[in-house]
Each structure stands twice: as structure tokens, then as C-alpha cells.
Amino acid sequence: MTDKLRVAVLGATGAVGKEILELLASRNFPLKHLKLLASPNSAGKEIEFCGETLKVEAVESSSFYDIDLVLASAGGSTSKAWASKIVAAGAVMIDNSSAFRMSPEVPLVVPEINPDAAANHQGIIANPNCTTILMGVGIYPLHQVQPIKRVVVSTYQSASGAGARAMEEVKLQAQAILQGKTPQPEILPYPLAFNLFPHNSALNAQGYCEEEMKMVNETRKIFDAPELRVTATCVRVPVLRAHSEAINLEFAEPFAVKQARDLIAAAPGVKLVEDWEKNYFPMPIDVTGKDEVLVGRIRQDISHPCGLELWLCGDQIRKGAALNGIQIAELLLEKNWLKPSVAATTL
């Protein structure tokens, strides 16, 4: 990658935005110019980046005219509000919200799984949901060898999935409980310290929450497997950062455990972590701040001859959001795919 890009980070003051800035610096992303954008409430804030002090600007229509790439992490409503203006200005938006993930004309990309999908963008590329990315990276090496028929996944999602304020709330609640006081939830609907509850996103008529349906629909799109059977139960747990997932896979034929371990150990973006003698497998504290998805406890499902069980952990702010977006940007540069392959449609 030799070309240098004029980059804007939309949502620069949020948790994912801050992680994006850290990764742009640590990965030596080829920057010609960096613009930090956020809501008017954050305008004027100063952020240190590679020895420089940059001021956050309020996003407006003229913000994108001198920009090649927008890394957006400011929420779905913000992405929808500015997408057409970003594309009209000639920039490409890599969007971390759910706004365009299931739009047929928008690629939904995990570079370790479907990098070629990025070539067909029309100015917007969607970053999948964090739990979907972590699961996909962990199980796709097996799907490539023998297509998965069914996925049953239970997630254990940390407070950071709800933002920095939720993380702070859990800390304050833990202190309150240890002092014999009643914890008071404000950001999350219920106390999370020393507690857990099903994910609080909106429920559909079938009783599945929005977070669970993201895993179902997004996995099918990324894997290009519309008939893949997926069911999910998403749970918020009192962990500060990094998500965990317990996954049951069903194949058409038996899948040897040793082969599964070898495939995952050799796969990009994944690290096999298993110490059976010590009963040591991936934990959130092991993966916090790390790029890889840690996978372990791979075993035969004793209830089904064609089933495998596995456990994984991943930093959902990093690989589950910011890093995946940066990797997409690096892919666009490497393959010379930055410009839309066809004329952008009206959004």
C-alpha cells in the first residue's frame, strides 16, 4: 500500500472511534490527511494523534468534499443521514452501524471470510455486528472444508458493547453492592454487576431480539449461505470488555475434532487456545486489546454424531468493530478497489 488517503473518522469521540484512531496509528495506515468528525456537542474537543493535536469538527455537508475514505462509527441514524452526501462527494464509507448491512447493494465484509465482496461496492461497505464478526472468523475455516448445516450460538456480551458509560456504570454498581447498597441502573435497563440478563434490544414477534437476528441474517449474507440455519441467544454479562460465545455446529457428515483444531490453528485472524490438562481455554481477559479471535474447547457433540462444540472470545471493540473496518480499508487499497465498481445508487 503506497497511496496515502484523506480519511475522516465520523464518531471520533466514541469508544469505537477512539479505537479506530489507535489502530490507524499502530498499523501505520497511509494517511495524507485525517479529519475528526462528531456531533456538535463534541466539536472543539482536542485529541492527540501521532504527536499532533487534532480538533474535532461538527459534521456538516461540506465535511466530505476533500475526503477519500470515511470510517463511520456514530450510529445508524447518523450513517443514514450522511451516507448520500459522503458518496456524492466521491468518498467511500465503511460503516460500523446496522444501517446498511442487509441492503442488497451494500457488501457486508469480513476480510478473512469474503474479501472479494468489497470489490462490488457502490460507495458504501458495511461492517457486520460484533458478535457476527467474532463467530464468523471462528467457524468459517470449518465451513470452507465442510459446509455447516446449522449453528446454535449463545453469546456472553460485555458491558462495553453498550459503550463506555455502561462500563463505568458496572464499576459503580459493583462498588455499591460491595458497600451493601442497591445498584442503580441508568444506561442499561437492569443492574449488570454480579448479574446478567438477556440482551435488551427490541424483541420481534417470534421472541428473538434484534441482536440475535443480526447474527442470523448477517451470517447468512457473509457466508453467502441463505439456507444456513442459525439460532442465537444473546446475553449481557458483567464483563467490562470482550465478548464470548458458545457455539454448536452441525454438519452433514462427522467432522474430526483434530482436523477442526488444525484448521482453526492455521486460519487467519484466529488463535487456538487449549490446555486440556489445566482446563484453560479462551477468556475475555486474554483477548482484551488483541486482534485475534481466540478459539478453544473444540470437542465432539456427544448428542449428535455430526456435531462439534467450541468456545471463543474476541475483543468486540477491536476485531468486532474498529479493526475489521481498518482491514477493509487496507483491502481496498491493496486491491485498488477504493473507487466504486459501478455508479452509486441513490440512498
Please give the positions annotated as active site.
130, 243
- Residue 230: what residue type? V
Report how far apart, in Å, the C-alpha atoms of 274 and of each of 37, 61, 136, 316, 335 are.
42, 51, 19, 21, 36
The cell numbers describing 93, all together, are: 464509507
Q: How far apart are CA 289 and CA 296, in angstroms?
A: 19
Separation of alpha carbons 297 and 309, rounded Å:
7
Is the Cβ–Cβ distance between 87 and 93 less than 8 Å?
yes
> Distance between CA 81 and CA 110 in Å, rounded?
24
- 292: Cβ–Cβ under 8 A, 6 or more apart, which residues? 269, 270, 271, 314, 319
- Determine the residue type at 168: E
